[in-house]
Structure 1
Amino acid sequence: MTALEFPVQDVAGAVGARRVGADRVELCAALGSTGGLTASIGTIEAVVATGIPVHALIRCRAGGFVYAEADEIAVMNADARAAVSAGVAGLVVGALTADHRVDVEVLERVLDGAAVDDIELTFHRAIDQVCDRSAAVDTLVAQGMTRVLTSGGAARCADGLDELAEMVAHAAGRIQIMAGGGITVGDIPALHRAGVDAVHLSARRVVADDGGPGGGGTSGHEQLDQELAAEAAAQLRAVNSVG
């Protein structure tokens, strides 16, 4: 069975994801403008209280995934420990070396002291900047990661289907491969055929809400699109039902 995950940014998104039958949510902030940053501890606690399994993104800033500054690593470590204490079901993390390999040392420092034995760990789309994703998968298996989120290195999962299928084959059940990146409802059958363990779909819409001169130049905020989320859930149920 292919699982369904939605990235959400607030309580309403989590409630909507639960309503349509999602298996879990990835909780983040500033998704559209940055690709996602760590949500506030207040938001994490409130979303955990909705009852849906919450996987908190741990990412301290926008941009690349090479973390050479000790303060950045310290912040992410503090966020990881706080999120686990708040009751999340998982953490979403990622770090690369300067030559774009999985940075095992930074991952260990980010997770140091966090009670991760009873939660799931997802390595995020930093893997799409890695040249040898098969080697990266082996490294993540050795690190005890539950899954990896990837588009197969493409801008959109629809363009990375062959690589996704190869990653699934290489993983061979040792780690879950979750497809994420530009997914539409119509892409779900092909992703299911590729054998991915889960689909991560950003079913979001912009709610018009002008912040004015002090609002960061935006004309609205993002929320889970309930109708699109329901369509995605229905499509996934359909393909799961036929195997």
Structure 2
Amino acid sequence: MLEVADRFDGLAETYALHRPGYPTEAFDHLFQQTATDKRIAVDVGAGPGNSTAALRDALPAGWLITAVEPGHEMRRVLTRSFSDAPCVQVVNGLAEAVPLPDGSAGLMAACTAFHWFDRPAFYAEAARVLAPGGVLALVRNRRVPCAVIDALNAYIAEHAIEVSDHARREASKEPSVRELSEVTGFSTARSRTYAWREERDRRGLIDLYLTRSSVWSIVRRTGLRRVMDDLQAVCAATMGETVTLDWETTVKWARRR
């Protein structure tokens, strides 16, 4: 995961401002699923803290959060964002090497970061860090398709060298319930989806897409001005001045045996 962190150099501030957060009720539910007296929640691949904020808002009394992030710039913004939150500890670490003792956590969550991990190594690390009765959760925000989203995704698929099959790439960003159920040391996995929506204007939608590493691969090859012009043209052709985006936050979790 360490080499992946370099993809987001220079994007931490933009990511923090323009990526959406997560429904607090999703984390409320996860805390309720834990069956251990360990009161540490681990946010793996925390980025600038969008997921950490949702975890903090749902945090039951007596719990602490360890936010694990390998990227220097992301960790700088993360640390600044929670400088006045004594319940949040920010640490430098990898999903495959979390700097916590064996059996010390009651909840480990990875939010829209899972696809960057070495899956077997991450699962093994989760089994090590979580206490029996602790919960491993994979959380992901997904945009519900609409005209402008389909058009923007088609633009990425056409111009980003590493994205030739957008649908397949999206499907790879989270494990199936079956895969998670087969992880050694965990019970049968469960899944729950939370629907929500937000309104964005054209610039707000473009700013959202400019947080994506696949879009920045195009920027690095063709220049920011060209990509901005292209994205503005796509938005002008497929939406009005604003658009209501429908989102689904999918949570898949399993309990440590």
| TM-score, length basis structure 2 | 0.35
Higher alpha-carbon Rg: 2
Identify, as 1 or 2, the structure richer in strand.
2
